[in-house]
Each structure stands twice: as structure tokens, then as C-alpha cells.
């Protein structure tokens, strides 16, 4: 594997899950693979899980790790070519990226949607500049349109907990006070559509995701109907994608919050969320604390998804 930004980069999903379960059973089996190799993790945005789990995965593989929070201590970066740089940004991404590449063997990038231009976000301008100019393999730690390490961990978690071959998985929008990217739901949909599960997306009108991510999923505007018979409920907030409301909060309707009453409509479903989660906006205390909540094992599987991706990238460098 060279770069990892979408489900297509992982190849056969069954093989990937099998490899993940092997890695999980024996995390240190490849501890020489990363010897004298350096991972550089670049964060344009905050993180708890991605930062820790990816670093842990790299350490399991024997890598050295350097972490840079671009907005804390580094020079503010200009990202547009052709700009007269007389403002507040002393350095251009076009120099910074190859310089960063010169200090490492593999680069992870977190760069959320900026909501300044839908076209720039959906063209993945930032991570693509790393791919083009760093000279190194690059993987996404959540880019503008996708969060593939999360979706891979979600898939592993579902495979570990499913009791039927084709579970019903429901992705539901839930309320949140701030405008969040579509990356997590886009990516989750992309990975679920690559399985043979029954996959349903539910959200209020106006929150339609980009058609290339919805694919053949059933879209059901009635959340109660969508939840009927669900085996897994995956909650997430996202801001509007459709024009003219791109990046806007259209509703904070707490009728969409996942409560015990909502979960009673399901087939005793497991509850999932990528975290961080706002309690009693997205999900009630009762549901997230219930024995059917998978949020902690799901987060723990982030170490495993990152380790499979890093292992495959390192194998490509040998
Ligand atoms: C981010 C998002 O929704 O994309 C990161 C989730 C992993 N969440 C927040 O900013 C709260
Ligand atoms: N789920 C996830 O990516 O969490 P962080 O934003 O804390 O990394």
C-alpha cells in the first residue's frame, strides 16, 4: 500500500478484517518492520483517539514517531498558490510539505473540511498536496471528506459483534450545536456500502450526504422507521452538504437524540459513535452507558485499524 485515504486503498475487506484480527491477537509480531522508520503525524485539528491510537500502532511496529500540531508552535501555513503573502501566514504549504517529508518515512495528516469552499473541501486540496509534494506515503487521519481509519475500526467492531451474516446497520444523524464535517458519515457510508450488510441512512430533510457516498443505501427520513429491526445504530452529527447550506447547522432537534425509547425500536441493537460525543445531544446517558454501547471497544479498535494500515505501508517500503 502507498497511500490510504479511501476504502479503495484497503482492497478486499474480508482480508483486511482477517489481518486486523491477527494483528489484534498478536500486536508485537511485526515489531521489527518499523525499525529505523519514522512516522510524522501532522495535525491541523484537535484529536484524542487518532493521536494516541496511531502513535501506539506505530510503536507496536517499532517505528519512531514525531507529532506536529500545525496550529500550535509551527508557522501558520498559506495553502493557496499565487497568493501575495503579505498577511499573517509566514510559510507556504508548498515548502513546508517537502521539508516535512525530508524528516520522515511515512506521513499521517489530519485536515478537516474548512467550510470556506465546498469545491476545495471535496477535492481534498490539503491531503492531496501532501500526497503530491511530500515524496512519502501519506495516510488520512481524517481529511475533508473521509475518516477511513475510523471506518475501518467501525467495520472491525461490527464484525466482532454481529450475530447474523448480514446485520442491519443504521447511520442516524443526531443533533449537535456546532457545524461538523461530513467526513465521518461519508466514510462510514462508503465502507458500509462496500460490505453486503443491510445499510440504511436516516436524517432530517436538508441533511442529504453527497450522492457518491450514499450510493445504493436506503435513505429513510423517518428515524423511527429506519431504526426498526436494526442490529447496529451508528449515530453522528454532520452539517448540511447541499447548496446553498453547505457547512451549516439546519436543526438541533433533540427528537433525533438516541434514547432508550429509540433503542427499544431496534433488534436490541448495539450503539456506536466515533467519539468525541456530546451526551444528551447525540445520545442519552442511559444508552451510552448501557451494555449494548460499543463506544469504548470501537475506540480501542482504532489502534488496530491504524496498525494494519501502517503495516501495509511499511511492507510497501521494504
Ligand atoms: C469531528 C468530526 O465530526 O469530524 C471529529 C470526529 C472524529 N468531531 C468534532 O469536531 C466534535
Ligand atoms: N474518533 C476520532 O477520530 O477521535 P479524535 O478526534 O479524538 O481523534
pLDDT by residue (tens digit) across 209-256? Answer: 999 999 999 999 999 999 999 999 999 999 999 999 999 999 999 999
Q: 157 near 167, Cβ under 8 Å?
A: no
Domain with CATH 3.40.50.1370 in the chain: 7-146+302-317, 150-298
Q: How far is CA 126 from CA 26, 50, 94, in A?
A: 35, 18, 11
Q: Cα of 27 to ligand 2 centre, how many Å? A: 21
> 302 CA distance to ligand 2 centroid (A)?
9
Distances (CA, A) of 47 to 42, 110, 275: 11, 9, 10
Ligand 2 atom closest to the CA of 51, numbered from 1: 8
pTM of the full predicted structure?
0.98
Which cell numbers hold the place of 200? 440504511
Pocket-forming residues, ligand 2, beta carbon under 6 Å: 47-50, 142, 150, 274-276
Q: Is the pLDDT of residue 73 over 90?
A: no
Asked if pLDDT for residue 318 goes beyond 90, the answer is no
Residue to probe by mutation, ligand 1, list 180, 234, 247, most atoms within 8 Å of CB: 180
What is the pLDDT, as a whole number, of residue 78? 95
Q: For residue range 98-131, list pLDDT tens digits in order.
A: 999 999 999 999 999 999 999 999 999 999 999 9
Q: Is the CB of 185 under 6 A from ligand 1?
A: no
Q: Which fold has domain 7-146+302-317?
A: Rossmann fold (3.40.50)
Ligand nearest to the CA of 237: 1
Domain 150-298 class? Answer: alpha beta
User: Ligand 1: distance of its center to the CA of 276 in Å?
Assistant: 7
How far apart, in Å, are the Cα atoms of 272 and each of 13, 199, 204, 243, 279?
Answer: 20, 14, 20, 29, 13
Amino acid at each position: 500500500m502507498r497511500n490510504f485515504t479511501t476504502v479503495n486503498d484497503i482492497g478486499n475487506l474480508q482480508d483486511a478484517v482477517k489481518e486486523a484480527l491477527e494483528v489484534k491477537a498478536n500486536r508485537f509480531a511485526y515489531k521489527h518492520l518499523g525499525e529505523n522508520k519514522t512516522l510524522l503525524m501532522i495535525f491541523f485539528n484537535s484529536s484524542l483517539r487518532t493521536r494516541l491510537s496511531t502513535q501506539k500502532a506505530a510503536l507496536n511496529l517499532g517505528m519512531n514517531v514525531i507529532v506536529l500540531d500545525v496550529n500550535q508552535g509551527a508557522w501558520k501555513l498559506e495553502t493557496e498558490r499565487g497568493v501575495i503573502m503579505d498577511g499573517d501566514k509566514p510559510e507556504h504549504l508548498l515548502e513546508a510539505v517537502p521539508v516535512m517529508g525530508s524528516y520522515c518515512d511515512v506521513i499521517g495528516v489530519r485536515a478537516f473540511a474548512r467550510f470556506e469552499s465546498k469545491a476545495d473541501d471535496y477535492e481534498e486540496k490539503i491531503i492531496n498536496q501532501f500526497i503530491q509534494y511530500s515524496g512519502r506515503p501519506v495516510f488520512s487521519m481524517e481529511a475533508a471528506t473521509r475518516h477511513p481509519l475510523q471506518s475501518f475500526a467501525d467495520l472491525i467492531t461490527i464484525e466482532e459483534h454481529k450475530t447474523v451474516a448480514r446485520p442491519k446497520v443504521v447511520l442516524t444523524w443526531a443533533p449537535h450545536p456546532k457545524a461538523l464535517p461530513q467526513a465521518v458519515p461519508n466514510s462510514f457510508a462508503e465502507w458500509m456500502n462496500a460490505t453486503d450488510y443491510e445499510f440504511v441512512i436516516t436524517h432530517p430533510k436538508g441533511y442529504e450526504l453527497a450522492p457518491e457516498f450514499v450510493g445504493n443505501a436506503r435513505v429513510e427520513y423517518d428515524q423511527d422507521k429506519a431504526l426498526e429491526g436494526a442490529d447496529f445504530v451508528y449515530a453522528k452529527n454532520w452539517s448540511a452538504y447541499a447548496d446553498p447550506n453547505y457547512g451549516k447547522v439546519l436543526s438541533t432537534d433533540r427528537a433525533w437524540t438516541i434514547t432508550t425509547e429509540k433503542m427499544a425500536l431496534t433488534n436490541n441493537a448495539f450503539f456506536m459513535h466515533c467519539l468525541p460525543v456530546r451526551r444528551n445531544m447525540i445520545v442519552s446517558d442511559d444508552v451510552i452507558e448501557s451494555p449494548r454501547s460499543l463506544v469504548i471497544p470501537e475506540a480501542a479498535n482504532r489502534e488496530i485499524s491504524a496498525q494494519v494500515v501502517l503495516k501495509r505501508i511499511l511492507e510497501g517500503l521494504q
